[in-house]
Amino acid sequence: EDIKNFPAVCNNLGCFYGDLEEYAHAYKLFETALDSARANQNLHQEVQILNNYAICLLQSDNSPETVKESLSLLINALSISDNMDSAFARANTLMNMGLAHYLIGGDTETEKILQEAIQLFGSAGSKSNEALALNILGNYLKKYKHNTIEAVTAFDKSININEEIRRKLKKEFHRISYADMFCEAYEMAAKCRFDLNQPQIALDYIERAKAKSLIDLLSGNLIINKKGKSARLFSQAAAILNEIDEINAALEAVSLKDSSFLKEGLIRSKADKDKEYAQSLLDALDDKNRAFKIIYTELVNSSPEEASLIYRPYQETEHIRCSIPQDTVVLNLFQAERELSIVFIFPD
């Protein structure tokens, strides 16, 4: 059993040394891992090691010779992936091949390779990898094809996927870490919008990036060094925003559960209980939004610059209900940061 795990241990150590930029040690470990995986005839491990070895080479040196060596490893991994009939292994290898092609200037195959990887990741439900491949595609379209419109479309899709994943993470540290991983997508999307002469939309990306990383970091008391009224108000406002995110996540979970009730024909009493729970969440959401509005107003008066970092528009649910005909039944409501979803039944 230890022999079977040996390639994985060497592979992980190789990645570790690669992150430390001690590439000579990393290469030796990857070679050892490959020899062991091949001796054990473990194709899954071999594909994973070949991919990590290739990425480590790309991290160490972007010269044409090194990129070609990396591509050679990836072509080998792709052949094994096809023999394994593993869509995920093929998608991961294609994404890394797309990155290698991008680093040497891109070619006619780069976009095709990345598009296939994106499609395979989407079919497999690997959202984070799909977002990563979209980032690479966006950079390629912007830098080498000078197609800013298609590039910003790729970055938009990546950002939307990342924000969807991030909303579902429960621990604040995980949210911060995940947001930091994908800051480039916001930056590149903003640059694309500036290039398209859309400065307001570009500023919206910047605000979204702040809301996703800086605010969470501050709310976790990790970098708050200031003292005084504005620091206290900022901390309170950030804490309320975290509570609002938790309520929204709970509402989304209830919404998904409601869909399963309809599909599976579950008993009505259970659905009614969840409807009551959803209503309690909506009421709590209104309370938190009102509390945030009060603290935010105080923060604007105390420190407008800090208030701009934490601004978030909101809509009270009662205002929405008042704008809908009285005999319309509102089943559910979910308010995300930049969009609002309402499920309701018309009288007709």
- C-alpha 115/C-alpha 137 separation (Å) is 8
Give the CA-trace dihedral at 44, 49, 52, 54, to 10 degrees.
Answer: -110
pLDDT over 60 at 147, yes or no? yes
The 10s digit of each residue's pLDDT in 337-347 is 455 666 666 55
Q: 236 by DSSP, 3-state: which?
A: helix
The 10s digit of each residue's pLDDT in 64-108 is 889 889 999 999 999 999 888 888 899 999 999 999 988 888 777
Q: Which residue has the higher pLDDT, 52 or 244?
A: 52
Q: How confident is the model at residue 335 (pLDDT cuts 50, 70, 90)?
A: low
Where do we find the tokens 């430390």? 20
- The C-alpha R_g of the chain, in whole angstroms, comes to 24
Q: Which residues on adjacent β-strands are paired with residue 345?
A: 329
248 Rama sector, left if φ>0, alpha if ψ -120 to 50, beta otherwise: alpha
Can you give the pLDDT at residue 259? 43
* The two structure tokens encoding residue 216: 């969470």
**pTM of the predicted model as reported, rounded to 2 decimal places:** 0.59
Per DSSP, the residues of 237-285 read HHHHHHHHHHHHHHHHHHHHHHHHHHHHT--HHHHHHHHHHHHHHHHHH
Per DSSP, the residues of 188-232 read HHHHHHHHTT-HHHHHHHHHHHIIIIIHHHHHTTSS----SHHHH
